[in-house]
Amino acid sequence: MINDVNAQASVTPAATTNGLSGPQGGSQGLSYTLSPSYAGMGIEPSNLFAFTGTTSPNQMTMNLLQNLANYTGQPPHMRVGGNTGDTALYNSSYTGYYFQPNPETTGPTDVAYYGPNFFKVINYLPKNTPITYGLPMAYQGPNASQMLLEIANGVVDAFTNIQLFSLEVGNEPDLYVQNKFRPAGWGASQYGTEWSTAVLAVWQQVLQPKGVTKSFFEAACSATTAANHGYRIENLVTTGVATATDNGLYVGGWNQHDYYYYVNVSNYKLTLSELMNLGSTAGQFTEWTSQADQAATTGKPYYLREMGSVGPEGLSGISDTFGNALWTFNFFLFASTVGVQSVQMHMLQDSYGSPWQPVVMADGTQPYVRPAYSAWAAMAQLNGAGCQTQIAPLTINNIPNGYTNRLGAYAAYDAGNLQSVVLINTQVAYSSQGQNINTQQVSFSMPTNMAGKTFYISLLTAPGADALNNTQWNGYDYAQNGDGSAKKVNTQTQTAVVGSDGTLTLTVRDSQALVANLGSQIGSTNNKPNSKACKNFSTVNSTGTGSGFKATSGFASHLPLSLGAIIGIAAGGGSALLILLGLIIFCCVRRARRRRAAKMNDSAAALLPPAY
């Protein structure tokens, strides 16, 4: 049975100012121009060698990262940082691999040590990989200052194959008291003082002699501003982060961490269906959307350097499924439209949430590629190598019963011109349903000059949301070869033509996503760097009028924020610097059945998002 629903749709050109606009007022809007390295990963320092290899590179890791570099012209942005890096000492005489227990530990901030090979293996990553490196701040021993400088020198001198993009000082200081790194009463003010002291020392004694700009450091480094309001940007700009660093000239960006769900911390039991509820993702991210607005007011980019669907190690049956791939793809798109300018999903060697398993697990499981990796591939090909991609959210109206918070849509623009439409269906379908899985048709009214234009369809698909393998993106499977290389498994070409009335109708199955690209298959023509655009993109600062790739100046107006400005960012007033995308979307949805009419499985019905 097909139930028709009358509706209209409208997709308009992107609204830009000097090639850039951004989200406004805590709501979604046109993204900043995306870095080709936008969708990246983070590696817990104690797990680094599992991903990189030791005496030789881990070939699966290198292949998977190179795939993405081939799509965007640059490898994904990698962060090397986490608690284990903040609580380990550097021993220049240690010639082995892996972290070693410190036999002379004095407490929780010096429990392990590592040596020069730690820096060596990071160089295994694909050439020009941008790296954000976490310097320690937790340790306060008598040689703490000397060790900080020794590590900073080691990082700067050792990275010859890759690009050191920024330095993060301290990991999640809002948890320092809880982790017994600092005494009770220590807080954001003390953090600002310690952070600025460390930053000034590193710049003056390590970076300045090498001609490196001041704005090379990322501030905040907190786990959650929702739990500790002192680490909100509106407050940090009143601490030493700004006042002791030439009013923020040393701040290259704001470094935020988050997890959609955290085991033994989140106050409800997560299900695969709830993870795939698009409304719950937006709800969980409300606080960080506000923080992105505050970052915009300061004129500094907002980076999500540690993120994941489930922390710390994922959940079997959720994190390792295709449903998590759909969540990840949607999150990359969603985050860009609320002002996040780089996302690093955190990886552990034994986490169900890591996009691949780099080494043999304790239970004997061999290295393999999880379904989630396909989300990076999809995002990379959508982004492309032209350094001119922006993402905008589309609102779908007339959604059928049972599909609330299950259908999502985005538009991708290249140099301000509509290039792709993304449609995501997160209604849970199980592999056991076989061909008896519902589909949805969504119709978009395109700009009038697009009548007769052909859009080429690329699918992000698997047998079901619960699938652990047989995931495909754009006809490729990244797991079948066993080494992370891409294998073409589907050569069929699907297209959709814009009708004479300007309507583009796209069909997406439950638990599936698609990208409809104008004029060619996505990834076939947008994988060549635009040298002029990419050069401009990498050199423009982030003052609210540039691309925001890397900040090179102080807070907005180079003056301390006024009381009015502080109140403004507290209320989401950072929107004054940005232009909201004026999209009015009316979409029509048709409900269709495959093969035979069947009653919907109750377990696939949309759930209300939990209270946060």
Mean pLDDT value across residues 511-532:
96
Residue 110 near residue 181 (C-beta atoms within 8 A)? no
- Tell me, what's the pLDDT at 555? 56
User: How sure is the predictor about 554, in pLDDT bands with cuts at 50, 70 and 90?
Assistant: low
- Tell me, what's the pLDDT at 450? 94
Provide the percentage of residues in the chain whose pLDDT is more than 70: 83
- Tell me, what's the pLDDT at 535? 83
Residue 223 near residue 172 (C-beta atoms within 8 A)? yes
Least trusted range by pLDDT, from 215-229, 267-281, 293-307: 215-229
DSSP string, 100-140: EE-TT--STTSSEEE-THHHHHHTTSPTT-EEEEEE--S--
Element at 516 (helix H, strand E)? strand 512-518
pLDDT score of 265 more than 90: yes
Residue 110 near residue 102 (C-beta atoms within 8 A)? yes
- Tell me, what's the pLDDT at 12? 54
CA distances in angstroms from 319 to 151, 292, 309, 356, 604, listed in the order given: 34, 26, 7, 11, 18
* Helix, strand, coil percentages, rounded to 5, for the chain: 30, 20, 50
- Tell me, what's the pLDDT at 570? 37
- Tell me, what's the pLDDT at 133? 98
168-196 pLDDT, tens digit each:
999 999 999 999 999 999 999 999 999 99
CA distances in angstroms from 76 to 126, 418, 430, 440, 554, listed in the order given: 9, 24, 31, 33, 27
208-248 pLDDT, tens digit each:
999 998 999 999 878 887 788 899 998 998 899 988 878 88
Least trusted range by pLDDT, from 5-14, 403-412, 421-430: 5-14
- Tell me, what's the pLDDT at 557? 42
82-138 pLDDT, tens digit each:
999 999 999 999 999 999 999 999 999 999 999 999 999 999 999 999 999 999 999
Q: What crossing angle do the helices spanning 373-383 and 322-337 adopt, rounded to 10°?
A: 40
Residue 245 near residue 579 (C-beta atoms within 8 A)? no
pLDDT score of 358 more than 80: yes
Question: Which residues, listed in sequence order, are joined to residue 78 by a DSSP beta bridge?
Answer: 41, 131
Q: Is pLDDT larger for residue 599 or for residue 560?
A: 560
Least trusted range by pLDDT, from 268-282, 287-301, 467-481: 287-301
Q: Global pTM?
A: 0.88
| Separation of alpha carbons 172 and 163, rounded Å | 24
Mean pLDDT value across residues 3-22:
38
| Separation of alpha carbons 533 and 74, rounded Å | 14
Q: Is pLDDT larger for residue 537 or for residue 502?
A: 502
| Separation of alpha carbons 549 and 252, rounded Å | 10
pLDDT score of 376 more than 90: yes
| Separation of alpha carbons 74 and 443, rounded Å | 34
pLDDT score of 50 more than 50: yes
What's the start-to-end Cα distance of the chain, in Å?
Answer: 39
Structure-token pair, residue 231: 């680490």
